[in-house]
């Protein structure tokens, strides 16, 4: 049988988490917390299950939750989305991204993607017979060279995919970045897909720069967010998409034949819980403390931390420790030191190897302490 994705195998997340389990290693590879979410949120889900809210919700999502997402978005970013026609609940951000790319990309369309890139983007573009056009972020700060973007834009460019805060690197876009983007696309029909699932996990007094804050971008953008990342419930797979009506209509055409709708009692629970603004307003400080704790326990090691202004991932240069390729180094470290990480080269089209691995610090502090003791001796 001829494969539609002949170059795609098992994701690095599955591979490294599987190896971590096999080796009984501390898993700092895959991006999920090892601590519990708020028990009140769990009780809310149980409450709505017991009340009988266990059947299909409307395909775009629970109206009350969409209304409250609209209110939250307006309060945070100053842009109002119509809950009925411009907000769609999805089975995690991954489904939102899949539906958006599928809805927007036609055969032969070019899609600009920044390298290193979250590994979902390119396979979905290829499934829709689009052409990925990859632009490397400037190492080691992982910033965008807008001159390269301008050169890459052609008459075939259909979509630009942004991701900020950025997975895997932890880099964040600035207001100047959005200004440059707006200038590049203002006289074109290019659309924007903005993956903003870590929007509340941003550090060092920085502010999240969402495409929805810039009218010239918002009118041509689909912005994606994630309750899973915000409330430490990645396994609930609950996300949403914000977009103007015309773009939302196209996204929903795909969504209705994909997930159709998502978990009903969870939507009811989130409609209540989203009103607790302090839960997302304090999230950046919560994870900044974890980032700083991780850096503290790594102090004195031969790993060199790269800048991390968002997400819950820390990039570490290991070139002072080993000349091994990052894929081999990550496996060796998992087997011998019993610490699992992610090799960063797998996120590059050309498998660029800068001798960098990524650690997830969405973990309990005692997990860091144990990992740090081991890593400092490498």
**Would you list the DSSP string of 12-75?**
HHHHHHHHHHHHT-EE-SSS--SS---HHHHHHHHHHHHTT--SPPPTT--HHHHHHHHHHHHH
Residue 226 resides in a domain:
yes
Which CATH number covers residue 314? 3.90.1150.10
Q: Cα separation of 173 and 137, whole Å?
A: 12
| Mean pLDDT estimate for the chain | 96
Identify whether residues 20 and 106 lie together within a single domain: no
Give the pLDDT score at 236: 97
Identify whether residues 89 and 107 lie together within a single domain: yes
Give the pLDDT score at 2: 85
CB-count burial class (<10 Å; 0-12, 13-18, 19+) for 43? exposed
Backbone angles phi, psi at 170, to 5 degrees: 85, 5
Q: E strands along 247-338, which residues?
A: 304-305, 313-317
Range of the domain at 295: 12-30+282-375
User: For 280-285, what is the mean pLDDT?
Assistant: 97
From the list 337, 363, 305, the residue with the least C-alpha distance to 28 is 363
Residue 1 resides in a domain:
no
The region of weakest confidence among 1-10, 206-215, 222-231 is: 1-10
Identify whether residues 307 and 223 lie together within a single domain: no
Q: Cα separation of 125 and 133, whole Å?
A: 10
Cβ distance 130 to 106 under 8 Å?
Answer: yes
The region of weakest confidence among 57-71, 105-119, 325-339, 364-378 is: 364-378
Write the pLDDT tens digit of every residue in 50-73.
999 999 999 999 999 999 999 999
Residue 367 resides in a domain:
yes
From the list 8, 13, 240, the residue with the least C-alpha distance to 132 is 8
Identify whether residues 289 and 366 lie together within a single domain: yes
The region of weakest confidence among 93-97, 315-319, 365-369 is: 365-369
Identify whether residues 323 and 271 lie together within a single domain: no
Give the pLDDT score at 118: 94
pLDDT of residue 9 exceeding 80: no
Write the pLDDT tens digit of every residue in 89-116.
999 999 999 999 999 999 999 999 999 9
Give the pLDDT score at 11: 79
Identify whether residues 245 and 328 lie together within a single domain: no
pLDDT of residue 82 exceeding 90: yes
Beta pairing class for 304-305 and 339-340: unpaired
**Global model pTM greater than 0.85:** yes
Q: Cα separation of 128 and 126, whole Å?
A: 5
């Amino acid at each position: 049988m001829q494969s539609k994705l002949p170059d795609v195998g098992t994701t690095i997340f599955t591979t490294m988490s599987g190896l971590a389990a096999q080796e009984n290693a501390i898993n700092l590879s895959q991006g999920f917390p090892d601590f519990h979410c708020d028990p009140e949120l769990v009780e809310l889900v149980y409450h709505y299950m017991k009340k009988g809210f266990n059947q299909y919700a409307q395909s775009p999502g629970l109206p009350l939750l969409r209304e409250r997402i609209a209110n939250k978005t307006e309060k945070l970013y100053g842009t109002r989305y119509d809950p009925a026609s411009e907000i769609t609940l999805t089975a995690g951000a991954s489904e939102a991204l899949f539906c958006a790319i599928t809805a927007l990309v036609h055969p032969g369309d070019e899609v600009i993607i920044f390298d290193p890139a979250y590994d979902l983007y390119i396979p979905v573009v290829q499934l829709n017979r689009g052409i990925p056009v990859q632009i490397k972020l400037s190492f080691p700060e992982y910033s965008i060279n807008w001159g390269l973007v301008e050169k890459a834009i052609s008459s075939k460019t259909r979509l630009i995919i942004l991701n900020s805060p950025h997975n895997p690197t932890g880099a964040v876009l600035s207001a100047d970045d959005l200004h440059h983007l707006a200038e590049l696309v203002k006289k074109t029909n290019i659309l924007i897909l903005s993956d903003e699932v870590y929007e509340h996990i941003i550090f060092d007094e920085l502010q999240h720069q969402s495409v929805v804050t810039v009218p010239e971008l918002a009118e041509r953008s689909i912005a994606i967010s994630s309750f899973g990342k915000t409330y430490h419930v990645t396994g609930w797979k609950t996300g949403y998409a914000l977009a103007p009506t015309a773009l939302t209509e196209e996204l929903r055409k795909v969504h209705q034949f994909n997930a159709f709708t998502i978990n009903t009692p969870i939507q009811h629970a989130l409609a209540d819980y989203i009103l607790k603004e302090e839960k997302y307003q304090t999230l950046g400080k919560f994870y900044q403390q974890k980032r700083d704790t991780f850096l503290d326990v790594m102090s004195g090691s031969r790993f060199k931390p790269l800048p991390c202004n968002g997400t819950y991932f820390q990039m570490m240069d290991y070139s002072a420790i080993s000349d091994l390729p990052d894929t081999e180094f990550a496996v060796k470290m998992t087997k011998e030191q019993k610490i699992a990480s992610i090799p960063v080269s797998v996120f590059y089209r050309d498998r660029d190897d800068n001798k960098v691995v990524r650690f997830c610090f969405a973990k309990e502090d005692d997990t860091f302490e144990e990992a740090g003791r081991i890593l400092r001796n490498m």
